[in-house]
Structure 1
Amino acid sequence: MSIVTTAQAVPSRLFAIYASLFESDAGELKDRIEAWATPPSLSGRGADDDGESTTTLFSNTLQEARRIGLVEDMDEKLRLTADARGGGKKGHDSEVHFLDYMKRTLFDPLRAVETQQAGFMIALAWFLSSNPLRPINFSEAPQVGLRAQIGDHASKTELTSLNRYQNFLYWARYLGFATIVGGRDADDQNARRVIPDPVRAIEGALAAIFAESRELPVEQFLTRLSGIFPVFEKGSVREDYEAMRLIPVPDVGQRLSVTTSVALQRLADRQRIALTSVADAPARILDFGSREGRVSHIALRT
């Protein structure tokens, strides 16, 4: 099981448990956390003759929180693990610490395997290789397209049903890699679309990428970015995904994906970075769909 395959383990529910325990170093009674985390409209649904709730909203979310290392049991209480707390104290912004822990867990290949979350990065590598100029249907599971791209490796993404696919999309959006747009159309049909959009994820990594220098050759920038998020070009998970393709993408070592290219250009448009092309310097092709560009150096702007 994982955050993709456990239907109840959406970001808001895992964070609700985390935030509830963040304010208490000594932990809280499990029943109290369940009362806080389970909406009253659902807490009694399906109750048995003894009045015990059979809803799996809390129990399955808690199971995933344990699996991913967020919480531990202490007598009859639950508390955050020291690693998940990350030095955070009562009164701090709990969501900052929650996001930091989730990123450290999900984007470290070894930790992802240990916590049974490895499928998330493989799915994200597929997602970021998609074209943001052709938004993806939120309500259509991608199994057919995945099998066409990577054959029997498709199961490694864990995107084997619509529910799992949508869970993945919620996490991709929460972590800064996706935008979900739209609602219901005139026929009351779900018309939501998903756009691969890693602008927030890249922007959040800029301080670490440029910690030692305010300008980097593009290859060094990509090396540092993929060291934080291995799902980008030059990252180990992205390269593993590219190796799974039944039909390899041409010029994969010289050209950036449309998703990465558009994200970098948007950050440049926002004055967060500067993209330059120095003659005779090693460069990457920026693919914008209808046109191309060239970048050899990326600088942090103030």
Structure 2
Amino acid sequence: MSIVTTAQAVPSRLFAIYAALFDSENGEVKDRIEAWATPPSLSGRGGDDDGESTTTLFSNTLAEARRIGLVEEVEDKLRLTADARGGGKKGKGSETFFLAFLRRTLFDPTRAAETQQAGFMVALSWFLSSSPLRPMNFSEAPQNNLKAQIGDHASKTELTSLNRYQNFLYWARYLGFATIVGGGSDAEDVTSRRVIPDPVKAIESALPAIFSEGNDLPIEQFMMRLAAIFPVFETGSVRQDYEAMRLTPLADGDKRLSITTSLALQRLADRQRLTMATVADAPGRILDFGSREGRVSRIALREAA
């Protein structure tokens, strides 16, 4: 099981458990955490809109929180693991520590494998290699698309059903890799929802670490540092494994950045967070914008607006 395959393990539910325990350094009894983490509307009628019991909602979410290393049980009480707490103290800022823990766990290939979360990065590599110029349907499972791209390796993404695909999308959005647009309360609106690969927030979160030793880098060094934090980007170990699964290799794959990465970097430049420059005779990468191309050889960090 994983955050993709456990239907109940959406970001809001895992964070509800985390936030409830963040202010309780000595832990809390399980029943009290369940009461805090379960919305009163569900507690009152005993199930969700699909008839799922609150017990299942909580127990399955808690099982995933344990699997990922978020919580532990000590002397009949639940508490955050020391790693999950990350030095955070009672008060504001719990979501900052929650996100930091998720990134340490989900984007470290060794830890992801140990906690049964490796499929998430494979799925994210596929997602980021897709084009944001052709938004995906939120209500259409991607099995056929995956099969056409990577054949029998498709199962490694864990996106084998619509529910799993949508769970993956919720996590991709929460972690800063996706935008979900459209949709409303009725069925017709929901089926009109579209998903766009959009890693701007993820890349922006990595900028302080990438530029920790200087504000100007060659593009290859920038990409290597980005991929060390998020191995799902070009040059990253998981992205390279995914590219090796392709039935049809990408042309100029070692020189060209994907449309998704290219547009994300350009948007950060437009927001005055980065400056991209081309230096004559310097090694560079091709920026693919779909209808046109660009080139970049150096990237510099600008002060936050």
Cα deviation for residue 45 of structure 1 reads 5.0
Q: Secondary structure, in 3 states, of the residue corresponding to 2:103?
A: helix
Cα deviation for residue 254 of structure 1 reads 0.4
Distance of 2:298 and 2:180 partners within structure 1:
31
One-letter amino acid of the counterpart of residue 17, structure 1: I
Structure-2 change in CA distance of 1:186 and 1:58 (3 Å): closer
Q: What are the superposed Cα offsets for residues 50-90 of structure 1, whole Å, 9 maximum, x if unpaired?
A: xxx66311000000000000000012210000010000001
Cα deviation for residue 39 of structure 1 reads 1.9
The equivalent residue for 1:245 is: 246
TM-score, structure 2 as length reference = 0.95
Q: Secondary structure, in 3 states, of the residue corresponding to 1:154?
A: helix
Which structure 2 residues correspond to residues 209-288 of structure 1 after superposition, within 5 A?
A: 209-288=210-289
Check the 8 A contact 1:45/1:55 in 2, yes or no. Answer: no
One-letter amino acid of the counterpart of residue 108, structure 2: D
Which structure 2 residues correspond to residues 104-253 of structure 1 after superposition, within 5 A?
A: 104-184=104-184, 187-188=188-189, 190-253=191-254
Cα deviation for residue 190 of structure 1 reads 1.8
One-letter amino acid of the counterpart of residue 117, structure 1: Q
Cα deviation for residue 92 of structure 1 reads 3.6
The equivalent residue for 2:50 is: none
Distance of 1:17 and 1:234 partners within structure 2:
35
Structure-2 change in CA distance of 1:187 and 1:112 (3 Å): closer
Distance of 2:187 and 2:105 partners within structure 1:
42
Check the 8 A contact 2:42/2:54 in 1, yes or no. Answer: no
Q: Aligned pairs, how many?
A: 297
**Structure 1: 5+ residue stretches without partners:** 48-52
Cα RMSD of the aligned pairs, angstroms, is 1.4
Q: Secondary structure, in 3 states, of the residue corresponding to 1:87?
A: coil
Distance of 1:57 and 1:186 partners within structure 2:
23
Identity of aligned residues (%): 79
Structure 1 runs, 4 residues or longer, greater than 6 Å off: none
One-letter amino acid of the counterpart of residue 183, structure 1: G
Q: What are the superposed Cα offsets for residues 108-157 of structure 1, whole Å, 9 maximum, x if unpaired?
A: 00000000000000000000000000000000000000000000100000
One-letter amino acid of the counterpart of residue 156, structure 2: K
Structure-2 change in CA distance of 1:204 and 1:102 (3 Å): same
